[in-house]
Structures are given as structure tokens and as C-alpha cells.
Structure 1
């Protein structure tokens, strides 16, 4: 092969390798976003990690106690109105439905009964007779508690996000097929052009994975290093911890996958040198 043909071949292979890198990054980004930001399971894991359920339970019980104090009910009577397990169950049901663009109504009657029970028991212990007026007051208190509980459980932005996710999800499969097929075809083309020089083929695969790894790592790493996520302005401490953990974990997923690509690149480079030495 003359010099000009070698130059053209090398330029062609380099361009194809760069295109493969771009396709690989695009496909990987879609898969990561699908498994993190588009996943209710990922959000619920972030809730566990950020201790969201216990912190939210404290806020809910404090709010119900405040309502009770306004109605003459001692705070001690309502200190354990809802449990962390109940909050977790309702929140996970809500997020699962919201990510599908649906709305979830928390069961009302069981909750009202749950709130009324300790108040009724307290009145009985105090030997207080329940009049029609006091029963109405207790019912109103339970209704207010239910509304407050529902507001705490539901994240206002999630249903809208879920609807957008469902609109975009219908195109995800097409994107994955197009990017994946294009990547495989170009990879096969590289193999065809370099199949006589295995050390060069492996070296170009090293470039593909190395470039992909760097693209996946750099921007998420810069965002994390800048502290941008930590500066999110949210007044609710549990919600702040949840969202910062959720976003941080999502960016870390890019970095972890990028790191795996860099490792694959390094191993390919080493193997390429070994092949070249013994070829």
C-alpha cells in the first residue's frame, strides 16, 4: 500500500473511530438517564440514602401536633400519628404512579380513622363526653391532617415530569436502536479495514472507549466540583436532601460508567502493545 493510501485509510479509520465514540456516548447517556432520572426505583433508593422517610415523618407528625394544639389536643397524644414505614409505602406508591404520568390519591378513610383513634382514646382517658360538636371538631382536625399528609407525600413537580418522561420514553427505543445499530455497523467497518493489523484495531478500540470515558466523566465531574447541586434553593430540609442525593447519584452514574470505559481503554492499549510486540 502506497503512502497516500495509508494516509487516507488512517484518516478514514480515525474519523470512523471518532464517530463510534460519539455514538457510544449518546447510547450510554440515554441508558443512564433511563435508569436514573427516568426511574422511580432510582428516586426511591435516593430517598433511602438521604434518610428522607424519617425526616419527612418528623415534619408530618410535627404538623399534625400543631393542628392538635390548635384544637386543644396535647402534642404528646399525637407524637406518633404516622410511622416512617407508612410514609415510605405511600411515597413509593406515589412516585411509581407519578413516573407513569398518573395521579395517586392516598386512601383517606383509613388515615382519618388512624388520626381519630388516639384523640378518642385521650378523651376517654380524660373521662370527657363526646358531644356532636366535639365530634365535628375531631373530624375537621382529621381532615386537615389528611390534607397536610397528602401535601407532604406528593412532590408537586413529579406528575408533570412523569408526563414528559412518558412522552419522551416512546422515542427512547427508537433512539437506542438507531444509535446501537450505527455503532455496531461502524465498529464492523473498523474491523474490516484493520483486520490484518490486530494491534492497530485494538488500539483504535482503546481510543473509542477512552474518548467515550472522558466525555462521560468531564461534564458531570465539573458540575459536582462546582457545588452547583448543593446550592439548590429548597427550604424543606428532607426535600433538599432527597433532590441533591438524587441528582448527585445520577451524575455519579455517568462517572462510574466513564471510569469503566477508561479501564477498558487502558486494558485495550496494553493488549495492543502486547500484540504489536509479538506480531
Structure 2
């Protein structure tokens, strides 16, 4: 006897099993969305680089470095214009990207801070010579020391906070999250297939609507709490570059979360449309043949 056209001998048990499957499908869809979101944002170096560009982090860091270097230069008889021209925002952004590459892949090429120090020394030396100052051993030593101090400040500024801890954590999470994503996708597919063969097509669509709606609602609640609380802009970070990066990063993660919610809502809408079409067909069949029962 077909389970798509006839009721089982125990329809109540069938409904209970369907509700349980719908609950697990909703849970799997929720966890799958979280895992996919994690993969697309936190575990993606390209995502972090994109936020660095959007937040103008390199610009703010360059300004901070110029102010720091100018303070060094005042005590060493170098004017503000020199350090304003000695730093390149493009180089700062490139080195930030290098830090991101190392954050996600420890085997990536390291940033050559020695090269930065040498270039800074050459620029300092050139400036001294242009001012017709005699380059004695004492002056040369002072220039090398100033270049070293600038290099240390530069290295500290472009370094990602908690780099070693964050890198280790990302390396640890990369494989488990990937396995979890694949596993959750397989479980969700299994439940969908099982539910499809357990119920009539219209009932199958109804329980899928419940599952998709439940998962979307579960994701929407934390999204709404964070967005409407206004706490993103109230993050207690004083450094402009880090503040801009963190707020931009958080907003983009929330945007991706909203996309996940939209996908689940779209799935629920599609199932609803199919459900209404099937309901119309079933009603027509029952009208034409009253002996047919649909569950």
C-alpha cells in the first residue's frame, strides 16, 4: 500500500515521526548555516583582506605611523614633510595582506621588515646629504638607530593583535569546520529524503516549510539583537584602524548572516508555493474522486 496516497495503520505515530524529523532538519539547517557562515568569513583570508580595504585600515595605520615617525624626527632634526613622503600607504596595505596570509598559512612568505629598515635608512641618509650635513660615524650610527626604531614601530603597528593565538586557533578549526559542514549537509539531505518517502508530497512540503522557517527564525533572533542593540559602534577600541576594521568586519559578517536567513526564507517560500500547487491538485483529485485520501 502506497504511503503517498494512503494513511498508515498508525497515522499518529507517522505525524510524531514527521515532527521529529522536521525538528532535526531545522536544527541541521541552522548548524549548517552557521558552519557555512564561519567558512565564508572567519576562516577566509580573502574575506579579511576585503574588510581591510573597505575599512581603510591601511590609511589609518599610515597616518598613525606618520605621527609616530614625526615625533621621532623632531628630536633628530627631520621635518614633518620628510616622514609624510617616506611612508607609502600601498606598502602598508601590502604588508597587512602579508600578515593575513601568514595568519591563515604559517608557511606563507614572511614580511621583510629588514628591507623596510634598509629603505628607511637610505631615505634618512639621502635627506641628510641633501641638507649638506656631514655624515660622520656618529651621524651614521644615529641614522641607523632611527631607522631601527622606525622599523620596530612599523612592525608593531602592522602586526595583527594576538597573532600567534589567532593563527593557531584558525589552523585548529579549519579542518573540523569543513568536516562539520559536509556532515551537516549530508544529515540534512538524509532527513529530507527520508521525510520525502515517509510523507505525501504535500505533507513533505509542509514539514520542510516548518524546518526552513524554524532555522531562519533561530538565525534571525541573534542577528536582530546585535543589529538593533547598536553595540557594534560602541566597541571599546581607541585605535582608529582597528576600530574601523572591527566594525566593518562585524557588519559584513551580519550581512552574510542575513543572506543565510534570506536563503532559508526563500526555500520556505518555494516549498510554500509547491505546497499550494499540490493542495490545489489534491483538492481537484478529491473532488473528482471522493474515494481518494491524501495525507
Normalising by structure 2, report the TM-score. 0.87
Q: CA distance change for structure 1 residues 182 and 3 in 2, over 3 Å: closer, same or farther?
A: closer
Whether the 8 Å CA contact 1:221–1:255 is kept in 2: the answer is no
Give every structure 1 segment of 4 or more consecutive aligned residues whose post-TM-superposition deviation is greater than 6 Å: none
How far apart are residue 22 of structure 1 and its match?
Answer: 0.2
How far apart are residue 103 of structure 1 and its match?
Answer: 8.7
CA radius of gyration, larger in: 2
Residues 177-256 of structure 1: pairs in structure 2 closer than 5 A = 177-194=182-199, 197-256=200-259
How far apart are residue 14 of structure 1 and its match?
Answer: 1.5
2:287 corresponds to which residue?
none
How far apart are residue 149 of structure 1 and its match?
Answer: 0.4
CA RMSD, Structure 1 to Structure 2 (Å): 1.9
Equivalent residue of 2:85, what SS? coil
2:24 corresponds to which residue?
19
Whether the 8 Å CA contact 2:101–2:108 is kept in 1: the answer is no
Residues 46-65 of structure 1: pairs in structure 2 closer than 5 A = 46-65=51-70
Equivalent residue of 2:237, what SS? coil
Q: Whole-Å Cα distance in 2 between the matches of residues 233 and 23 of structure 1?
A: 35
Segments of structure 2 that go 5 or more residues without pairing to the other structure are 1-5, 283-295
1:107 corresponds to which residue?
112
How far apart are residue 193 of structure 1 and its match?
Answer: 0.8
Equivalent residue of 2:10, what SS? helix
Equivalent residue of 1:162, what SS? helix
> In the comparison of the two structures, how many residue pairs are matched?
277
Whether the 8 Å CA contact 2:102–2:110 is kept in 1: the answer is no
Whether the 8 Å CA contact 1:68–1:74 is kept in 2: the answer is yes
1:272 corresponds to which residue?
275
Aligned equivalent of 1:139, options 141, 144, 169: 144
Segments of structure 1 that go 5 or more residues without pairing to the other structure are none
Q: CA distance change for structure 1 residues 65 and 190 in 2, over 3 Å: closer, same or farther?
A: same
1:78 corresponds to which residue?
83
2:98 corresponds to which residue?
93
